[in-house]
Amino acid sequence: MLTADDRFAILDVIARYNNSCDAFDLDDALVALTENVHIVLYGNNSEEPMAIITGHSQLKQALEPRHKHHLSIGVQVRHLIQNPQFLSSDGTLAELRAQVVVLYQRAADPVNPKPRMVQSGTYHYHLRRTDIGWRIAGLVARSCGVYSADAVYDLQC
């Protein structure tokens, strides 16, 4: 059973990861993850993963080009996590499922700067208590909808 402090710490580490990714601060995002984090991404309701990422270096290799591209076209990303549900815990491992909505906003677009939903879906987090607190050890992300800022904004990038 998780204590209230554990629940807050888990929600905090999830928020840290998402906020850091959205701010393009990969070094801070990695602090929220175990060294051997395992991430599986499913797109557009697919049964086959579109990406499997293991460890900090693979995650940086996957995210750095994407972040650079978003910056080059003036896109800000926002992950909105809602309805977190704790599924299980034994005190050292925990599972949490949440709904996610991802927004892209072109800050540099004076005609239509409104956020646009790019995808929605669920995130299933696997967390581990470490010597320095709770960390994300695994993430299974299942999304549906458009998966590209270029497609949302009809860009030819």
Residue 83 has pLDDT above 50, yes or no: yes
Percent of the chain with pLDDT over 70: 85
Of residues 117 and 93, more confidence is placed in: 93
The H or E element spanning position 149 is: helix 149-153
Strands 133-144 and 33-42 come out as parallel
3-state helix, strand, coil in the chain (%, to 5): 30, 45, 25
Of residues 18 and 143, more confidence is placed in: 18
Q: What is the DSSP letter of 125?
A: E
Cite the beta strand spans of the chain per DSSP E: 33-42, 51-54, 75-89, 93-106, 116-130, 133-144
* Rounded average pLDDT over 61-76: 86
Would you kindly state where each structural domain of the chain is located, as residue ranges? 4-153
Q: What is the DSSP letter of 54?
A: E
For 22, the token pair is: 């959205």
pLDDT for 157 equals 43
For the domain made up of 4-153, give the CATH fold: Nuclear Transport Factor 2; Chain: A, (3.10.450)
Give 93's contacts (C-beta < 8 A, 6+ positions apart): 126, 127, 128, 129, 137
- Closest CA relative to residue 9, chosen from 114, 136, 118: 136
pLDDT for 117 equals 65
Predicted TM-score (pTM) of this structure:
0.87
Identify whether the C-beta of residue 24 lies closer than 8 Å to the C-beta of residue 71: yes
- Closest CA relative to residue 138, chosen from 47, 18, 54, 42: 54
Per-residue model confidence as pLDDT tens digits over 34-65: 999 999 999 877 889 989 999 999 999 999 99
Per-residue model confidence as pLDDT tens digits over 134-154: 999 999 999 887 556 566 555
